[in-house]
């Protein structure tokens, strides 16, 4: 694929993804971590950091981090340390966030991302650490447009996954978030719901002249809440930085916010350095020591990962890398496909029907696969009707359109609408004879060696049979008859 550049500049991107861990309780207390409860009903003194409380580590969150580390081919550190990151914010009553700094639970790893042309690229993972989420400020509420703080989210376990600055285009960044989300969902550690904020992304962006060896100064765009916004924000930010540099300016390292309505980024604050946070090991928490047995146990119970499933789809069903990666983007789509392809249906034909026809239709309807009006059983039945010659591929699209509308079975639709393919040679022969009789000039042309007229005859037969004649039979009979 040709490199993505803007006016002689290359874009460099590193992403920080915050993923809320699917856990019943908070990282250091037994309070529920469920989403959507009445404000401030899920907080206890530990989450608020009241004097005298002691945090206790949630072991399920530690397991989730190990699982994710293994899925990202990363080092699992058998010793990690929780640290306090000090800052003041209205939704952080403790005045510090418990995070990991020098010794994170997961070290270097890597992930393969799938690009639109079927190519893959390896993106380095710098680290993954566990930390608590902060509360939430909610603004402009009620008659007085006041601001409120909801602390239900304070202390909810988060994994922060930091990438190397390995991405070079908005597309690669989008592919990275897509793949990471799919892995987190496959291993069931995060629901990946970006709209609800259970997965959030900060994008670090810099630009440099093509051929430069040093990175430019980066800006960090906070809290992007959809993959589309990640890509749009990066594109805008790269262009902004290039304009500044071309005008003779310099880029200040800063934190910026993205406004999706206006598609712009603006300054939020100048970037703090680590020393501004006065990180220090949390004196209330022991270092986390992991046994080899615990890690092995998790490794042995890992579910099939998207890359392995993609490879299996390529081997088992002889699918292209592209088809295999589209189908394995989620467990739901992989499972749907495997139900369609079951009973020895043609894998490539099945893949086309799922990825092109079905996904295309669902996209137009604004529905997701979970709410598909067409079940995998019915789609499989439709493919049977094509494969056994009952209907042509073209008629199948017509039947499929009715299936989408009515959820009827393809058999019933074909019966009701009389769409069965005509394979009866006698009937087709009759039609061909009529057409040949009416088009003597074209018959002569064909016999003179103008092969292109053949298409004209096929078209006429299909028209006369409302598209229901078996194309193969039509082709054979036409060839015979036209030969004279």
74 or 414: CB nearest Mg ion = 74
- Collapsed DSSP state (helix, strand, coil) of residue 310: helix
129 or 310: CB nearest ligand ADP = 129
240 or 310: CB nearest ligand ADP = 240
**14 binding ligand ADP? (CB under 6 A):** yes
Residues 6 or more apart from 186 whose CB is under 8 A from it? 71, 303, 304, 305, 306, 309, 331
From the list ligand ADP, Mg ion, none, partner contacted by residue 254 (C-beta under 5 to 8 A by kind): none
Instruction: Name residues contacting ligand ADP, limited to 140-169 (CB under 6 A).
Output: 162-165
From the list Mg ion, ligand ADP, none, partner contacted by residue 215 (C-beta under 5 to 8 A by kind): ligand ADP
**15 binding ligand ADP? (CB under 6 A):** yes
- Phi/psi of residue 200, nearest 5 degrees: -135, 150
**31 binding ligand ADP? (CB under 6 A):** no
First to last CA, the chain: 52
Which of 25, 97, 206, 333 touches ligand ADP (CB under 6 A)? Answer: 206
Tokens of residue 324, six digits: 């295999």
Question: Please, what is the minimum distance in Å from the beta carbon of residue 10 to ligand ADP?
Answer: 11
Tokens of residue 276, six digits: 């501004």
Count CB atoms within 10 A of the CB of residue 181: 22
Which of the ranges 64-72, 210-218, 256-264, 295-303 carries the binding residues for ligand ADP, by CB under 6 A?
A: 210-218
Query: How do 157-163 and 199-209 pair as beta strands?
Result: unpaired
Token look-up 């981090």 returns 65
Which of 16, 91, 110, 346 touches ligand ADP (CB under 6 A)? Answer: 16
Binding residues (CB under 5 A) for Mg ion: these are 16
**324 binding ligand ADP? (CB under 6 A):** no
222 or 312: CB nearest Mg ion = 222
**12 binding ligand ADP? (CB under 6 A):** yes
Q: Is 133 within 8 Å of 155 (Cβ atoms)?
A: yes
From the list Mg ion, ligand ADP, none, partner contacted by residue 207 (C-beta under 5 to 8 A by kind): none
Cα–Cα distance measured from residue 172 to residue 64, given in angstroms and rounded to the nearest whole number: 26
Question: Please, what is the minimum distance in Å from the beta carbon of residue 196 to ligand ADP?
Answer: 23
Query: Total binding residues for ligand ADP by CB under 6 A?
Result: 16
Cα–Cα distance measured from residue 429 to residue 478, given in angstroms and rounded to the nearest whole number: 8
Question: Please, what is the minimum distance in Å from the beta carbon of residue 86 to ligand ADP?
Answer: 14
153 or 218: CB nearest ligand ADP = 218
Question: Please, what is the minimum distance in Å from the beta carbon of residue 101 to Mg ion?
Answer: 10
Pattern 382-421, binding to ligand ADP, x per CB under 6 A? ----------------------------------------
Counting beta carbons within 10 angstroms of the beta carbon of residue 482, is it exposed (0 to 12), middle (13 to 18) or buried (19 or more)? middle
Which of the ranges 97-105, 140-148, 198-206, 442-450 carries the binding residues for ligand ADP, by CB under 6 A?
A: 198-206
Q: Is 407 within 8 Å of 430 (Cβ atoms)?
A: no
Q: Is 110 within 8 Å of 226 (Cβ atoms)?
A: no
Question: Please, what is the minimum distance in Å from the beta carbon of residue 124 to ligand ADP?
Answer: 8
Question: Please, what is the minimum distance in Å from the beta carbon of residue 201 to Mg ion?
Answer: 12
Which of 29, 204, 355, 372 touches ligand ADP (CB under 6 A)? Answer: 204
From the list ligand ADP, Mg ion, none, partner contacted by residue 330 (C-beta under 5 to 8 A by kind): none
Tokens of residue 26, six digits: 């908070």
DSSP letters spanning 253-305: PEEEEEETTTTEEEEEEEPPPGGGGT-EE-TTSPPEE--HHHHHHHHHTPPPP
Residues 6 or more apart from 302 whose CB is under 8 A from it? 67, 70, 71, 187
Question: Please, what is the minimum distance in Å from the beta carbon of residue 229 to ligand ADP?
Answer: 17
Cα–Cα distance measured from residue 188 to residue 173, given in angstroms and rounded to the nearest whole number: 22
Residue positions counted in the chain: 484
Count CB atoms within 10 A of the CB of residue 74: 23
Under the rule (CB under 6 A), what is the footprint of ligand ADP?
12-16, 162-165, 204-206, 215-216, 218, 220
């Amino acid at each position: 694929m040709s490199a993505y550049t803007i006016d002689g500049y290359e874009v460099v991107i590193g992403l920080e993804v915050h993923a809320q861990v699917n856990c019943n309780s908070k990282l250091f207390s037994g309070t529920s971590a469920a989403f959507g409860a009445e404000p401030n009903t899920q907080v206890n003194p530990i989450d608020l950091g009241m004097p005298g409380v002691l945090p206790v580590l949630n072991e399920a969150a530690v397991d989730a981090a190990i699982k994710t580390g293994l899925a990202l081919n990363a080092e699992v550190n058998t010793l990690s340390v929780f640290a306090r990151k000090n800052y003041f914010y209205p939704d952080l009553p403790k005045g510090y966030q418990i995070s990991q700094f020098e010794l994170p639970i997961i070290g270097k790893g890597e992930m393969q991302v799938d690009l639109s042309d079927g190519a893959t690229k390896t993106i380095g993972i710098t680290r993954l650490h566990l930390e608590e989420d902060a509360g939430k400020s909610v603004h402009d509420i009620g008659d007085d447009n006041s601001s409120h703080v909801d602390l239900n989210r304070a202390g909810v376990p988060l994994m922060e996954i930091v990438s190397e600055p390995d991405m070079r285009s908005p597309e690669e960044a989008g592919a990275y978030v897509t793949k990471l989300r799919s892995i987190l969902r496959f291993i069931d550690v995060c629901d990946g719901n970006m709209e609800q904020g259970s997965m959030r992304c900060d994008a670090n962006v810099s630009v440099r002249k093509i051929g430069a060896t040093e990175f430019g100064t980066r800006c960090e765009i906070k809290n992007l809440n959809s993959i589309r916004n990640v890509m749009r924000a990066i594109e805008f930010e790269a262009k902004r930085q290039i304009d500044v540099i071309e005008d003779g300016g310099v880029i200040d390292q800063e934190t910026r916010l993205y406004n999706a309505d206006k598609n712009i980024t603006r300054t939020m604050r100048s970037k703090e350095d680590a020393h501004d946070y006065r990180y220090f090991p949390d004196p209330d928490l022991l270092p986390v020591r992991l046994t080899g047995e615990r890690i092995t146990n998790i490794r042995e119970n890992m579910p099939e990962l998207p890359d392995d499933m993609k490879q299996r789809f390529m081997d088992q069903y002889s699918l292209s890398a592209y088809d295999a990666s589209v189908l394995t983007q989620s467990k739901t789509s992989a499972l749907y496909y495997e139900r369609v392809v079951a009973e020895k249906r043609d894998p490539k034909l099945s893949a086309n029907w799922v990825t092109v026809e079905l996904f295309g239709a669902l996209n137009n309807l604004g529905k997701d696969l979970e709410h598909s009006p067409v079940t995998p059983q019915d789609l499989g039945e439709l493919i049977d009707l094509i494969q056994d010659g009952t209907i042509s591929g073209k008629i199948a699209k017509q039947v499929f359109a009715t299936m989408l509308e009515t959820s009827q079975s393809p058999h019933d639709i074909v019966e009701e609408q009389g769409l069965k393919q005509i394979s009866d040679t006698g009937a087709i022969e009759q039609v061909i004879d009529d057409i040949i009789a009416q088009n003597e000039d074209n018959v002569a042309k064909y016999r003179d060696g103008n092969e292109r007229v053949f298409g004209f005859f096929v078209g006429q037969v299909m028209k006369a049979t409302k598209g229901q004649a078996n194309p193969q039979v039509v082709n054979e009979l036409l060839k015979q008859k036209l030969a004279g």
